[in-house]
């Protein structure tokens, strides 16, 4: 019975396209609305969240105008999701096999019980888990295996799109690499479109076709991966790249961006990056910059681009 | 194997607790003032010789335990006596033979009295608890699912109200309402002297007698279960795996059934078992209002008459039942939560 | 695309003002507090509010006994021919006193055991928690009967009895909270700079356990009030103290319902419900304020999920 | 979980149960009696509660039966012969009496029973009735010769509760442990089914040697809760109730289907206000603590308190007027033994104040409480009562204000009955106690309570000691002439009344009620009220 709090515009003016087989990286510091964006796509925002405007077009249909039942059909069958922190995303009291099978049964991917079991085994094998372990519980898996199981689960119904929400956080470096490689292999093999949420630019450079850089709930910059890495237009992207250790330039100094990203409940009136921007101007504090298009496939929101 | 070890450890703990309760039970009732032989009886016909005879009969002439003659007033005694000749030993050895002493009031073996009453109480508590748990859980799930909606507020307020009602007070009000407007019986568990043509009639008669006490009971306990379930489900519903389930396209009902319920049951199981003790306190009030011939009524009568052997027996029985229930709950818990079995 | 997240606002302010700000948004807690304050005011101003003095000596006739409600006696009269409303108003005092002091005892015992067990850990914790577990399974009532039989029935003893059987839940709760708090950085830091145990408990643990304790106190008060009425019903309470439980007890043993005098039974009963409900609402509300978890509810009602303004 | 199925099931059960008809009482015409008690045990050797005796009165027979007017008639015997020295009673047992199991009842059974009651040490409460028994002989099947150690005037009341047990059953069992649930007797009703604390189902004996009931059976149902009991009568679940709260009388009288009967009880009982007046020299050497307030040793104080006690007010509040002001420990329900010539001390607070003033108990420090004449201590009295009493707290409140009005303060404290026994007697560690007695139809025992000899035994609650009274007691105990004995007993009552040994606030009346639409023929014309007595149960018949 808590009375309404203050509505915070977690996301504003976000727009991107994901083509078949494309890997789109979504980058930004923690708290910039990446996960909220992913959940919004599947309409999974918690009770305190609401989508106020916009559309999510999937194969010509606006997902936001679907009924809850129609939406449930789309989930997992067309768009599946790999959550960050597989430990919490898996139900501790059910076996891995059951949790994967559940999705298969739900979307009638295969009918027969026996076939479901086979499919589960096949999926686990595909991600490199001994299929016999499908009768075990999440707590009996190691962290990396849980993440593999999550991936297997996401692929259960052969979705067109997989949303991978920081799939490697909380894993140690060796395992991270394995998981990423597995993802890359499967993406290629199955021709998946992947929305890849991360704050690791190295991963982005390696895996993604295009990149969406988010800051404070808005699009900072959106372009193909080469443009982002070679000709970033937004000061935030530039700063991010400077803060990213480039192994090819071992002498380069590591720079961290001063300050913290804004709290969504206390957003600055003008450009959201203004308080931390090295190129900040007077108008940045008053006026929200519109999205500029330096080139047809390149979007960036910064007053500097005006002219 | 690990699981077996867990079970064994829990079992050992339960046994230890039972032993502790037996000792406490013995000494607690020896600390009481006055002459137990005259408890509740102020009968002019009782002579001093008769009192002594009663004391011999109940074994009260012997020292409490080695070194202690009596506890109230505290008198030290001979330490070198044969321990077999102490009240404590007699009590324990009787207990091992399933004897709980003889009621001061009715002169019958306490074990027999309790055995008769126990089943009636189990029937009443059983039916009412199942109803309260099922309804409470259902309401709790509904309220948690529909959190912050009128359904939630209504269920919450109703449950808090139910929880706030003094049990006996609700009982007497329902008794008058039920007997006046529904013509339901006001006492007992069957119509005495009735000849039932069919077994069905007998069950119907029992059912009619059960309605009011069960209703009272259910209302009083419903609220608590609802509150606990609501809170447990709310906790579960904010877990990530619920989000996973939802992302998988499962319907709300499926999510509640397959993912929320079992996890939310975990705290419920513990509470239900621990609640057994309070359940008996409720039984005392309800059974005495509705003259239901159960354990609670026996305790109520025994309290009024200071019939300590019956109280002592009931105390032990309830304590052991609660310990047992907790043991079962622990084991059931590990069945519900695979993490306990294997980690 | 745009989405909003409603968050608890303003940002978690500390101190009483911040707490009050959140608190007053919680209808449940506010209603509960109101009910409790009403009861406390009634108790405080009983002499001003009560139309008659329940202890006053008046000549009673048979007609006075269980007299129906009238203009002079709004809630009728009881089995001794006294004004029910006045007894009811004065009775709130005893019920509140019992509830308050008994819960203080429970909270004190439970709090000390919980903090000591949680803070010191090891063998101390094991011993204390095993003891708590044992006490938790021992039925309260026989214990109460024995204690009441050992002591004279009086207000003080009733408070004592209710207090010492009701601490087990608190002990468990406080222990787990202490365990959680103990690992916080500033506690570890305090320990690192060599602060004594008592100092740490007093200045670092207690302030963090206290909110939980307050919630628990409010809930235990309601339990104590209910327990007092149960003891009265069992004839184990002191008949010379005028509490709502005693009023009920007299209504029962002196056949109020048979005489058709429902007002004698219903009035104190509703009083207990009022007070207990007030405490429970307050407790539940406080808990919600201190431990909000609705924010992340994944199944919350549908309509808010997609709410687009017209014309978007 | 399939919620709908659960709900449907619950609803189904409820409907089925609610629609299920009431009992199909096929056992003939059965009277349903409601009461708040239940026999503690059916083994009368160890039974305490009156309920056990009520059932025994219907199932068993004894040598005499007590009529509602207080007279006795022979029951199993035709005639009795008393020897001139008043020591030897020769009873001729009727022929053709059989126990419920078909075995004949003979003088041997009578002798067996009397010997059992006399010799069995595990029968603590009955030995008082066999106190004067010397020998018990049954020379043949129809003759019983009872020899006493000294002549007594009240043999009838001594034999009244010594029910005759079948030797062929009781000689086979342990007479203390035996639960006697079969209850084979020779009375007009026999045991059909017994559930302790639930009900007692008795069946009529159709060819009884004295009188057969007109009904086919009677069921006594236990209601733990008095309100439920009254409600059961109102809704017709029972046909008669043997007790009820006095507060229900007015409401039940308004019910045209219900008749309320009020009168003196069959089993006499008395409520007393006990003053601790034991003298230091009489303090029991072993158990005595004797901490009574010294003022209570002064008759003037006790008399003043008596004048300060508004008995009518107590009767109105506690009994709703259904009682009579009491005089002494011998209640009006003892009939001829009750001395109704005594005139009660009037309620007169002014007189009480004057008495205390004149005796020097003055409030010297102006705190509203009087002090002893030597100023040593205030007149503050401890007042205790058993915590299981429902009326005592109300009475205590009233006394507190009444006595307070004459400058005597009381400190009220309910006590657990055990704790009360512990401070009462023979330790005399109290000032005032509110308690009471139940009595036989003979005043002998109640009179003995005030004897000097009873101070160390714990029977004397006041510690009262008066040689003149003691002498009269010994005299009446052997006075065989009934009228002379009554005279002596009246004189004893006058003495204790004038000495103000107790204040007797009231003699309570019995309140019972029955439904007029079920059975007719209830004996309500007698001196006493006892609808559950054979006198009613043998003659009632169903309303046509």
End-to-end Cα distance, chain D: 56
Distances (CA, A) of C293 to B53, C211, D173: 66, 17, 70
**pLDDT tens digits for range D33-48:** 999 888 888 998 888 8
Residue to mutate among C236, C246, C248, C259, with most D CBs inside 10 A, is C259
Poorest-pLDDT segment among A104-113, B161-170, D353-362: A104-113
Q: Are residues D82 and D202 in the same domain?
A: no
Residue A30: pLDDT band by 50, 70, 90 thresholds?
A: confident
Residue at B81 is within a domain: no
Planar angle of CA A286, A287, A292, nearest 5 degrees: 155
- Residue A50 contacts C where some CB pair is shorter than 8 Å: yes
Which of D215 and C166 is assigned the larger pLDDT? D215
Domain final residue pick, D136, D170, D204: D170
Residue at D16 is within a domain: no
Residue at B94 is within a domain: no
Identify the pLDDT of residue B5.
80
What is the count of structural domains for chain B? 1
Strand partners, D33: D220, D240
Q: Which residues of B touch A99 (CB under 8 A)?
A: 244
Distances (CA, A) of D478 to B212, C16, D134, D485: 59, 87, 16, 9
Q: Are B291 and B187 in contact (CB under 8 A)?
A: yes
Find the domain containing D69 and state its range: 61-170
Q: Which CATH number belongs to the domain containing residue D217 in this structure?
A: 3.40.190.10
Q: Are residues D314 and D339 in the same domain?
A: yes
Q: Which CATH number belongs to the domain containing residue B231 in this structure?
A: 1.10.3720.10
Mean pLDDT of the region C96-120: 92
Q: For a pLDDT cut of 90, what percent of chain C falls above it?
A: 21
Given a cut of 80, whether residue B46 has pLDDT beyond it is no
Which alpha helices (H) appear in chain C, and where do they start and end? Answer: 15-23, 27-44, 46-49, 84-120, 122-137, 140-150, 155-165, 168-182, 185-192, 197-200, 206-233, 244-253, 262-290
- Residue B266 contacts C where some CB pair is shorter than 8 Å: no
Backbone angles phi, psi at A61, to 5 degrees: -100, 145
Asked if the peptide bond before residue C10 counts as cis, ω within 30 degrees of 0, the response is: yes
User: What span, in angstroms and rounded, lies between the C-alpha atoms of D205 and D215?
Assistant: 10
Residue at B90 is within a domain: no
Q: For a pLDDT cut of 90, what percent of chain B falls above it?
A: 8
Mean of the per-residue pLDDT values of chain D: 89
| Of residues B45, B105, B134, nearest to D40 (C-beta) | B105
Backbone angles phi, psi at C171, to 5 degrees: -60, -45
Planar angle of CA D35, D37, D40, nearest 5 degrees: 145
Q: Are residues D239 and D316 in the same domain?
A: no
Q: Which residues of B touch C297 (CB under 8 A)?
A: 147, 234, 237-238
Instruction: Read off the DSSP letter of residue D463.
Output: -
In B220-239, the residues whose Cβ lies within 8 Å of chain A are 238-239
Q: Which residue is it, tokens 């085994």?
A: A121
Q: Are A136 and A94 in contact (CB under 8 A)?
A: no
How would you label B300-317 residue by residue, b for 16+ Cβ within 10 Å and e otherwise?
A: bbbbbbbbbbbbbbbbbb
Residues comprising chain A, all counted = 307
Residue A9: pLDDT band by 50, 70, 90 thresholds?
A: low
Stated as kind and residue range, the H or E segment containing D474 is helix D467-477
Selection from D155, D157, D187, D146 nearest residue D42 by Cα = D187
Identify the pLDDT of residue C6.
55
| Of residues D32, D416, D445, nearest to B44 (C-beta) | D445
Q: Are D451 and D461 in contact (CB under 8 A)?
A: no
Q: In what order do the strands lie in the sheet with A291-295?
A: A79-82, A161-165, A193-198, A23-27, A210-215, A218-224, A298-301, A291-295
Q: Which of A249-263, B41-55, B256-270 has the highest mean pLDDT?
A: B256-270
Mean of the per-residue pLDDT values of chain C: 81
Distances (CA, A) of D126 to B42, B50, C49, D38, D119: 14, 10, 58, 20, 10
Q: Which residues of B touch C145 (CB under 8 A)?
A: 303, 311
**pLDDT tens digits for range C19-74:** 777 777 788 889 999 999 999 999 999 999 888 888 777 778 888 888 889 888 88
Q: Are residues D281 and D401 in the same domain?
A: yes
Of all residues in chain A, the one with the smallest CA distance to C4 is: A9
Determine the angle formed by the axes of helices D3-19 and B199-237, rounding to 10 degrees.
Answer: 150
User: What span, in angstroms and rounded, lies between the C-alpha atoms of C105 and D154?
Assistant: 60
Find the domain containing B248 and state its range: 111-342
User: What span, in angstroms and rounded, lies between the C-alpha atoms of C27 and A4?
Assistant: 12
Q: Which residues of C touch A2 (CB under 8 A)?
A: 8, 25-26, 288-289, 292, 294
> For chain A, what are the domain ranges?
2-78+201-306
Identify the pLDDT of residue C86.
92
User: What span, in angstroms and rounded, lies between the C-alpha atoms of B268 and B273?
Assistant: 9
Distances (CA, A) of B149 to A50, B239, C16, C289, D539: 17, 21, 29, 18, 68
Identify the pLDDT of residue A6.
45
Q: In what order do the strands lie in the sheet with D380-386?
A: D323-324, D502-508, D269-275, D432-438, D380-386, D409-415
Q: Which residues of A touch B254 (CB under 8 A)?
A: 106
Those residues with Cβ within 8 angstroms of residue A268's Cβ, 6 or more apart along the chain or in another chain: A262, A274, A275, A285
Q: Are residues D256 and D135 in the same domain?
A: no
Those residues with Cβ within 8 angstroms of residue D316's Cβ, 6 or more apart along the chain or in another chain: C60, C61, C62, C65
Residue D493: pLDDT band by 50, 70, 90 thresholds?
A: very high
Q: Which CATH number belongs to the domain containing residue D310 in this structure?
A: 3.10.105.10
Identify the pLDDT of residue A5.
39
Give all chains having 3 or more CB-to-CB distances under 8 Å with chain C. Answer: A, B, D
Identify the pLDDT of residue C305.
37
Those residues with Cβ within 8 angstroms of residue D490's Cβ, 6 or more apart along the chain or in another chain: D339, D341
Given a cut of 70, whether residue A4 has pLDDT beyond it is no
Given a cut of 50, whether residue B193 has pLDDT beyond it is yes
How many interface pairs between B and D have CB atoms less than 8 angstroms apart? 204
Residue at B100 is within a domain: no
Identify the pLDDT of residue C292.
63
Give all chains having 3 or more CB-to-CB distances under 8 Å with chain A. Answer: B, C
Residue to mutate among B110, B150, B160, with most C CBs inside 10 A, is B160
Given a cut of 70, whether residue B341 has pLDDT beyond it is no
User: What span, in angstroms and rounded, lies between the C-alpha atoms of D293 and D380?
Assistant: 8
Q: Which of A72-86, D69-83, D301-315 has the highest mean pLDDT?
A: D301-315
Identify the pLDDT of residue D93.
94
| Of residues A5, A40, A266, nearest to C8 (C-beta) | A5
Identify the pLDDT of residue C27.
83
Identify the pLDDT of residue C304.
35
- Residue D390 contacts C where some CB pair is shorter than 8 Å: yes
Q: Which residues of C touch A55 (CB under 8 A)?
A: 1
Mean of the per-residue pLDDT values of chain B: 82
User: What span, in angstroms and rounded, lies between the C-alpha atoms of B61 and B75?
Assistant: 14
Planar angle of CA C143, C146, C149, nearest 5 degrees: 150
Q: Are residues D308 and D442 in the same domain?
A: yes
Q: For a pLDDT cut of 90, what percent of chain A falls above it?
A: 1
Q: Which residues of D touch B39 (CB under 8 A)?
A: 417-418
Identify the pLDDT of residue D22.
42
User: What span, in angstroms and rounded, lies between the C-alpha atoms of C310 and C295?
Assistant: 27
Residue to mutate among B157, B245, B247, with most A CBs inside 10 A, is B247
**pLDDT tens digits for range C258-312:** 888 889 999 999 999 999 999 988 988 888 777 665 555 666 544 333 333 333 3
Rounded to two decimals, the ipTM of the complex is 0.82
Q: Is the dihedral of CA B213, B214, B215, B219 positive or negative?
A: positive
- Residue B149 contacts A where some CB pair is shorter than 8 Å: no
Residue at B88 is within a domain: no
Identify the pLDDT of residue B321.
86
Q: Which of A239-253, B134-148, B245-259, D304-318 has the highest mean pLDDT?
A: D304-318
The answer to whether the CB atoms of B248 and A75 lie below 8 A apart is yes
- Please state which of the four CATH numbers 3.40.50.300, 1.25.40.10, 3.30.479.30, 3.20.20.140 is assigned to the domain occupying A2-78+201-306: 3.40.50.300
User: What span, in angstroms and rounded, lies between the C-alpha atoms of B287 and B212?
Assistant: 11
Instruction: Give the DSSP letter string of C272-290.
Output: HHHHHHHHHHHHHHHHHHH
Domains, chain C, ranges and CATH?
45-54+74-292 (1.10.3720.10)
Q: Are B51 and B37 in contact (CB under 8 A)?
A: yes
In A8-47, the residues whose Cβ lies within 8 Å of chain B are 39, 42, 44, 46-47
**pLDDT tens digits for range B226-282:** 888 888 888 888 888 888 888 888 888 888 888 888 888 888 887 888 777 778 778
What is the count of structural domains for chain D? 3
Tell me if residue A215 falls in helix, strand or coil: strand
Residue at B276 is within a domain: yes
Which of A261 and D283 is assigned the larger pLDDT? D283
Of all residues in chain A, the one with the smallest CA distance to B156 is: A1
Identify the pLDDT of residue A253.
58
Q: Which residues of C touch D405 (CB under 8 A)?
A: 57
User: What span, in angstroms and rounded, lies between the C-alpha atoms of D75 and D64?
Assistant: 5
Q: Are B292 and B124 in contact (CB under 8 A)?
A: yes
Residue B2: pLDDT band by 50, 70, 90 thresholds?
A: low
Tell me if residue B254 falls in helix, strand or coil: helix
Identify the pLDDT of residue A264.
66
Decide the pairing of beta strands D199-204 and C2-7.
unpaired
């Amino acid at each position: 019975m808590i009375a309404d709090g203050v509505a915070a515009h977690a996301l504003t003016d976000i727009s991107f396209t994901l083509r078949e087989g494309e890997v789109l990286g979504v980058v930004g510091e923690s708290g910039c609305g990446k996960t909220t964006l992913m959940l919004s796509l599947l309409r999974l925002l918690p009770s305190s969240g609401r989508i106020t405007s916009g559309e999510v077009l999937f194969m010509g249909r606006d997902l936001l105008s679907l009924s809850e039942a129609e939406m449930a059909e789309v989930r997992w069958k067309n768009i599946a999701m790999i959550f960050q922190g597989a430990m919490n995303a898996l139900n501790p009291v059910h076996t891995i096999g059951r949790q994967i099978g559940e999705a298969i049964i739900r979307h009638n991917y295969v009918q027969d019980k026996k076939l479901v079991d086979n499919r589960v085994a096949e999926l686990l094998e595909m991600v490199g888990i001994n299929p016999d372990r499908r009768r075990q519980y999440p707590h009996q898996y190691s962290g990396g295996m849980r993440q593999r199981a999550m991936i297997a689960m996401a692929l259960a119904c052969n979705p067109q799109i997989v949303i991978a929400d920081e799939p490697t956080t909380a894993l140690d470096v060796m395992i991270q690499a394995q998981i990423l490689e597995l993802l890359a292999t499967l993406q290629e093999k199955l021709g998946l479109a992947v929305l890849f949420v991360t704050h690791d630019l190295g991963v982005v450079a390696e895996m993604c076709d295009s990149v969406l850089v988010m800051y404070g709930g808005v699009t900072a910059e959106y372009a193909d991966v080469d443009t982002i890495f070679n000709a970033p237009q937004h000061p935030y992207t530039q700063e991010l790249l400077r803060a990213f250790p480039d192994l090819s330039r071992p002498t380069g100094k590591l720079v961290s961006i001063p300050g913290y990203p804004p709290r969504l409940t206390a957003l600055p009136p003008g450009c959201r990056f203004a308080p931390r921007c090295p190129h900040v101007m007077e108008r940045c504090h008053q006026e929200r910059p519109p999205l500029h298009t330096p080139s047809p496939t390149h979007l960036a929101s910064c007053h500097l681009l005006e002219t | 194997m690990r699981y077996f070890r867990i079970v064994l450890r829990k079992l050992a703990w339960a046994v230890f607790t039972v032993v502790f309760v037996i000792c406490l039970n013995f000494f607690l009732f020896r600390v009481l003032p006055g002459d137990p032989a005259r408890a509740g009886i102020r009968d002019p016909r009782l002579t001093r010789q008769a009192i002594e005879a009663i004391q011999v009969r109940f074994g009260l002439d012997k020292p409490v335990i080695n070194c202690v003659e009596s506890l109230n007033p505290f008198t030290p005694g001979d330490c070198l006596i044969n321990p077999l000749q102490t009240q404590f030993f007699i009590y324990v050895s009787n207990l091992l033979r399933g004897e709980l002493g003889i009621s001061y009031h009715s002169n019958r073996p306490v074990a027999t009295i309790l055995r008769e009453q126990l089943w009636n109480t189990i029937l009443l508590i059983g039916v009412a608890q199942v109803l309260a748990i099922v309804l409470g859980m259902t309401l709790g799930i509904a309220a948690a699912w529909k959190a912050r909606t009128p359904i939630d507020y209504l269920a919450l307020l109703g449950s808090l109200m139910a929880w706030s009602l003094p049990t006996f007070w609700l009982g007497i009000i329902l008794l008058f309402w039920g007997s006046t407007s529904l013509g339901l019986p006001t006492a007992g568990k069957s119509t005495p002297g009735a000849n039932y043509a069919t077994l069905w009639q007998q069950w119907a008669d029992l059912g009619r007698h059960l309605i009011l006490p069960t209703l009272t009971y259910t209302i009083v306990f419903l609220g608590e279960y609802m509150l606990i379930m609501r809170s447990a489900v709310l906790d579960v519903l904010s877990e990530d795996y619920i989000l996973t389930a939802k992302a998988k396209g499962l319907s709300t009902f499926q999510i509640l059934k397959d993912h929320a319920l079992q996890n939310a049951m975990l705290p419920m199981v513990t509470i239900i078992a621990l609640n057994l003790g309070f359940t008996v306190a409720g039984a005392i009030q309800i059974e005495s209002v509705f003259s239901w011939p159960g354990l609670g009524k026996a305790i109520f009568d025994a309290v009024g008459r200071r019939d300590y052997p019956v109280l002592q027996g009931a105390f032990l029985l309830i304590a052991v039942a609660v310990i047992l229930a907790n043991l079962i709950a622990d084991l059931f818990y590990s069945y519900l939560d695979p993490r306990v079995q294997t980690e | 695309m745009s989405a909003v997240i409603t968050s608890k606002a303003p940002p978690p302010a500390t101190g009483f003002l911040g707490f009050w700000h959140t608190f007053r948004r919680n209808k449940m807690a506010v209603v509960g507090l109101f009910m409790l304050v009403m009861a406390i005011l009634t108790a405080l101003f009983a002499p001003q509010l009560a139309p008659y003095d329940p202890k006053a000596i008046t000549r009673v006739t048979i007609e006075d006994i269980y007299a129906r409600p009238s203009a002079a006696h709004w809630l009728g009269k009881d089995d001794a021919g006294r004004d029910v409303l006045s007894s009811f108003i004065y009775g709130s005092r005893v019920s509140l006193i019992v509830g308050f002091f008994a819960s203080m005892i429970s909270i004190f015992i439970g709090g000390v055991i919980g903090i000591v067990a949680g803070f010191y850990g090891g063998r101390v914790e094991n011993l204390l928690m095993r003891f708590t577990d044992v006490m938790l399974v021992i039925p309260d009532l026989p214990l109460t009967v024995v204690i009441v039989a050992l002591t004279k029935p009086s207000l003080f003893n009733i408070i004592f009895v209710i207090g010492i059987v009701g601490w087990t839940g608190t002990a468990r709760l406080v222990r787990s909270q202490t365990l959680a708090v103990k690992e916080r950085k500033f506690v570890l830091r305090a320990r690192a700079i060599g602060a004594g145990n008592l100092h740490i408990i007093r200045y670092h643990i207690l302030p963090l356990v206290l909110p939980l304790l307050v919630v628990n106190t409010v809930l235990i008060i309601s339990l104590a009030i209910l327990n007092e009425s149960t003891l009265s019903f069992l004839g184990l309470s002191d008949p010379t103290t005028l509490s709502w439980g005693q009023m009920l007890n007299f209504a029962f043993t002196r056949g109020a319902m048979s005489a058709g005098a429902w007002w004698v039974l219903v009035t104190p009963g509703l009083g207990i419900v009022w007070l207990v409900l007030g405490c429970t609402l307050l407790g539940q509300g406080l808990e919600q304020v201190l431990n909000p978890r609705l924010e992340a509810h994944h199944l919350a009602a549908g309509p808010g999920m997609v709410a687009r303004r017209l014309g978007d | 979980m399939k919620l709908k199925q659960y709900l449907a099931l619950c609803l189904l059960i409820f409907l089925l149960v609610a629609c299920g008809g009431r009992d199909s009482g096929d056992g003939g015409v059965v009277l349903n009696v409601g009461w708040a008690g239940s026999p503690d045990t059916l083994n009368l050797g160890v039974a305490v509660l009156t309920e056990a005796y009520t059932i025994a009165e219907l199932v068993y027979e004894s040598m005499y039966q007590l009529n509602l007017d207080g007279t006795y008639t022979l029951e199993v015997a035709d005639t009795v012969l008393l020897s001139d020295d008043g020591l030897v009673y020769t009873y001729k047992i009727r022929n053709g009496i059989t126990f419920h199991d078909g075995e004949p009842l003979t003088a041997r059974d009578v002798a067996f029973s009397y010997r059992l009651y006399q010799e069995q040490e595990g029968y603590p409460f009955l030995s008082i009735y066999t106190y004067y028994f010397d020998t018990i002989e049954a020379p043949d099947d129809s003759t019983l010769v009872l020899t006493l150690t000294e002549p007594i005037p009240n043999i009838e009341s001594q034999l009244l509760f010594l029910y005759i047990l079948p030797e062929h059953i009781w000689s086979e069992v342990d007479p203390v442990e035996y639960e006697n649930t079969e209850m084979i007797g020779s009375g007009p009703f026999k045991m059909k089914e017994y559930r302790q604390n639930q009900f007692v189902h008795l069946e009529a004996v159709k060819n009884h040697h004295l009188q057969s009931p007109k009904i086919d059976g009677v069921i006594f149902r236990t209601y733990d809760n008095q309100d439920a009991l009254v409600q059961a009568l109102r809704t017709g679940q029972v046909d008669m109730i043997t007790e009820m709260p006095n507060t229900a009388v007015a409401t039940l009288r308004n019910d045209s289907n219900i008749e309320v009967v009020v009168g003196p009880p069959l089993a006499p009982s008395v409520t007393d206000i006990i003053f601790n007046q034991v003298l230091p020299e009489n303090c029991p050497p072993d158990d005595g603590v004797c901490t009574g307030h010294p003022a209570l040793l002064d008759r003037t104080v006790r008399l003043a308190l008596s004048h300060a006690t508004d008995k009518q007010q107590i009767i109105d509040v506690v009994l709703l007027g259904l009682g009579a002001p009491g005089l002494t420990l011998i209640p009006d329900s003892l009939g001829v033994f009750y001395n109704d010539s005594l005139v009660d001390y009037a309620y007169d607070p002014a007189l009480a104040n004057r008495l205390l003033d004149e005796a020097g108990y003055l409030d010297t420090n102006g705190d509203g409480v009087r002090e002893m004449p030597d100023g040593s201590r205030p007149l503050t009295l401890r007042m205790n009562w058993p915590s299981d009493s429902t009326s005592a707290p109300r009475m205590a409140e009233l006394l507190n204000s009444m006595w307070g009005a004459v400058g005597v303060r009381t400190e009220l404290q309910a006590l657990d009955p055990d704790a009360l026994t512990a401070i009462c007697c023979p330790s005399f560690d109290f000032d005032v106690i509110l308690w009471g007695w139940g009595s036989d139809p003979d005043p002998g025992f109640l009179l003995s309570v005030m004897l000097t000899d009873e101070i160390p035994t714990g029977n004397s609650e006041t510690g009262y000691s008066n040689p003149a009274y003691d002498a009269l007691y010994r005299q009446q105990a052997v006075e065989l002439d009934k009228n002379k004995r009554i005279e002596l007993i009246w004189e004893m009552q006058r003495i204790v009344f004038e000495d103000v040994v107790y204040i007797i606030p009231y003699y309570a009346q019995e309140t019972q009620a029955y439904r007029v639409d079920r059975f007719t023929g209830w004996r309500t014309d007698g001196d006493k009220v006892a609808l559950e007595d054979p006198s009613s149960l043998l003659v009632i018949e169903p309303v046509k």
